[in-house]
Amino acid sequence: MPIDQWLPGVLRAGALIALLIMLFILIFLIGESWPVLSKLSIAQLVTDSSWHPLEGAYNLMPMLTGTVLASTGALLLAIPLGLASALFTLFYAPRYLAVSYKRLIELLAGIPSVVFGFWGLTVLVPLINQWHPPGASLLAGILVLTLMILPTVTVTAHAALAAVSDELARNAAALGLSRWGTIQGVMLPAAKAGISAGIMLAAARALGETMAVLMVAGNVVQYPETVFDPVRTLAANIALETAYAMGDHRAVLFVSGLLLMGLIMVFSALAEALEKQQHA
Amino acid sequence: MQEILRCLVVNSFCFVLAMGYAAQLGAQTKNTSQRLVVTGSSTIAPLVNEIARRFESTHPEMRIDVQTGGSSRGITEVRQGIAAIGMVSRALKSDERNLHAFTIAQDGIGVIVHASNPVTGFSRQQIADIYTGKITRWKVLGGADERITVIHKAEGRSTLELFVDYIQRRNSEIKPHVIIGDNAQGIKAVTGNPHAIGYVSIGAAEFEIRRGLPLRLLPLDGIAASVEAVRQGIFPLSRPLNLVTLGEPQGLALEFIEFARSPQVHDLVEAQYFIPVNAD
């Protein structure tokens, strides 16, 4: 009984603190980018000829495009691979293989992003360079990001599928459904919400990933014409230039932070909309 | 509602307590030892760090806190009074004349290519043509028939400023394939790509070449890029490494600057492949 008396208060306080921190970050971002938002027009961030902040040109669109392209590419690769790994370990692999495979994927999830970046820079980039110079490219970024979000997709899909009640699986078996019939007719629909939540988590990680992408993507501010062209993502831009930026340049970097946050908000809104549609 | 309020009160009480405690701690350390904050160029920071360690060993009551973030940050924080001394890896600009600069060493910027690249040297015009996209293949310069990968730095770096000044172009005219952050990343990018060209601090490049990395420093305008050439003042791409202060330095700051310019630290300067100055 005493626990029930003080627990709600503690929980509410915790929730309140999380909310306040979020609000403070937002206020801080808006405050720091205010010099630019009030002085320059927002249109300039879209219509300027290029990104040369020291020469007064602040076009963020190529970097927004780069961010979205790199994340989308990585998701397109990681979703099928991750789902396949989860299904394989749960339904097809022999037990000893399933356990060690799952450990391996979990290990992959724990590798810090700089390590992926370093591997990308020393192995992947020279390899792509032999095929199609300069090597540091959108493709390298996509591949490194894929490796990084693959475990997120796999682990969450695995957890969602494993959480589907045994009863459903047994009923499906009793009805004489094949293994694939059970998976696609019963397990996947039942685990859909958990799987898509994992994908959104992976998407958010891909959008915000900085170090690994910075090391392999080449960081040239431009609209890529092929996957072999280098790109710069918003997060990489902040990391590359913040330390050396002053005045308007610095404020525009905070605007790109704001933009990144907006992008992630759009993603989570999309996830919610998807889920509602599914329940309707 | 009441509970939320109560929790808020309790939380803010804890917060105030913590703040008070932290402030007291801060006051205590201030009393027992004198602290000097030095911030700025990542080129100078490792050297100043070594100098600071030696300085502290003879002045045990002093603490010197070395932070990096680029020359621009050094200037800004000295102006704001956050740092006592700024590290600036270039000569002061005309709008920075209100600061006092003390040169502690000289550094040169060298153009680097992969060791397997047969090209023997460039003129200033050729480098400008490579970086503005007029020369795109090594064949034109007597190398292999391969596309040149142009490695450039992120906007705001002092190395970039010096380099762009040297080729007499504006940064927006440069057409890079890869953009990097610090010297180490530039060296990795060139060692990983036989057709790349980049520019880094000569000291850093000579150090890595001696360690056996497949790199080559190219002569500029017929003058070999070496620490020796920079020392003699004949190398075209060189820069002073400065400590700057707001107003005449006094007390601890003055003592530290004099120490950093004295012959007592020449071995440290040379260990970082910079060239010591003779203080008069």
B131: tokens are 């970086």
Q: How far is CA A198 from the centre of its chain?
A: 10
Q: A134: which chain B residues are within 8 Å (Cβ-Cβ)?
A: 147, 149, 177-178, 193, 196
Contact B211, B189 (CB under 8 A): no
Q: Angle at Cα A86 formed by Cα A82 and Cα A92, nearest 5°?
A: 130
A70: tokens are 């790199």
> Residues B4-39, buried b or exposed e (16+ Cβ, 10 A)?
eeebeeeeeeeeeeeeeeeeeeeeeeeeeeeebbbb
Mean pLDDT by 10 residues, chain B (280 residues): 54 50 47 78 85 90 84 88 90 86 88 91 89 91 88 82 86 89 84 89 86 90 85 84 90 90 88 72
> Residues B194-222, buried b or exposed e (16+ Cβ, 10 A)?
bbbbbbbbbbbbbbbbeeebebbbbbbee
- Interface mutation vs chain A, best among B4, B5, B7, most A CBs within 10 Å: B7
pTM summary value: 0.75
Cβ <8 Å between B155 and A241 = yes
Q: Omega before A134 cis (within 30°)?
A: yes
- Looking at the partner chain, which of A55, A135, A214 has a beta carbon nearest the beta carbon of B170? A55
Domains of chain B as residue ranges with CATH: 34-104+241-276 (3.40.190.10), 107-232 (3.40.190.10)
B253: tokens are 């700051």
**Considering only alpha carbons, which residue of chain A is nearest residue B173?**
A52
Q: B185: which chain A residues are within 8 Å (Cβ-Cβ)?
A: 215
CA quadruple A146, A152, A158, A163: dihedral sign: negative
Q: How large is the ipTM? A: 0.75
Q: How far is CA A71 from the centre of its chain?
A: 6
Closest CA to A54 of A244, A256, A259, A279: A244
Tell me what pLDDT residue B10 has. Answer: 53
The tokens 């392209």 sit on which residue? A69
Cβ <8 Å between A129 and B149 = yes
Q: A246: which chain B residues are within 8 Å (Cβ-Cβ)?
A: 72, 76
DSSP string of A103-136, one letter each residue: HHHHHHHHS-HHHHHHHIIIIIHHHHHHHSTT--
Tell me what pLDDT residue B3 has. Answer: 55
Tell me what pLDDT residue B27 has. Answer: 46
- Looking at the partner chain, which of A13, A54, A245 has a beta carbon nearest the beta carbon of B11? A13
**Contacts with B87 (C-beta within 8 Å, 6 or more apart), sequence order:** B38, B39, B40, B41, B44, B45, B48, B71, B74, B241, B242, B243, B244
Q: Is the pLDDT of residue A18 over 90?
A: yes
Please give, rounded to a whole number of angstroms, the shortest distance from the CA of A61 to a CA of chain B: 17
Tell me what pLDDT residue A80 has. Answer: 96
Q: Is the pLDDT of residue A121 over 70?
A: yes
Q: Is the pLDDT of residue A231 over 50?
A: yes
Distance CA A223, CA A65 (A): 7
Percentage of chain A beyond pLDDT 70 is 97
- Interface mutation vs chain A, best among B11, B80, B90, B177, most A CBs within 10 Å: B177
Tell me what pLDDT residue B121 has. Answer: 83
- Looking at the partner chain, which of A10, A13, A54 has a beta carbon nearest the beta carbon of B155? A54
Tell me what pLDDT residue B242 has. Answer: 92
Tell me what pLDDT residue B129 has. Answer: 93
For A174-198, how does the pLDDT look when each residue is reduced to its tens digit (9 = 90+)? 999 988 899 999 999 988 888 888 8
Mean pLDDT of A93-105: 90
Q: A16: which chain B residues are within 8 Å (Cβ-Cβ)?
A: 4, 7-8
Closest CA to A143 of A248, A243, A217: A217
SS3 state at B248: coil
**Considering only alpha carbons, which residue of chain A is nearest residue B156?**
A244
For A21-48, how does the pLDDT look when each residue is reduced to its tens digit (9 = 90+)? 999 999 999 988 888 888 877 788 888 8
Q: Angle at Cα B31 formed by Cα B29 and Cα B36, nearest 5°?
A: 70
Contact B64, B38 (CB under 8 A): yes
B65: tokens are 């806190």
Cβ <8 Å between A136 and B188 = no
Q: B192: which chain A residues are within 8 Å (Cβ-Cβ)?
A: 121-122, 125-126, 129, 135
Distance CA A211, CA A227 (A): 20
Which chain B residues have any C-beta within 8 angstroms of a chain A C-beta? Answer: 3-4, 6-8, 10-11, 68-73, 76, 146-147, 149, 154-157, 170-172, 176-181, 185, 188-189, 192-193, 195-196
Tell me what pLDDT residue A149 has. Answer: 93
Q: How many cross-chain Cβ pairs, A to B, lie less than 8 Å apart? A: 108
A10 band by pLDDT with thresholds 50, 70 and 90: very high
Q: How far apart are the first and last CA of chain A?
A: 39
Amino acid at B90: R
**Contacts with A155 (C-beta within 8 Å, 6 or more apart), sequence order:** A105, A106, A109, A198
Tell me what pLDDT residue B29 has. Answer: 44
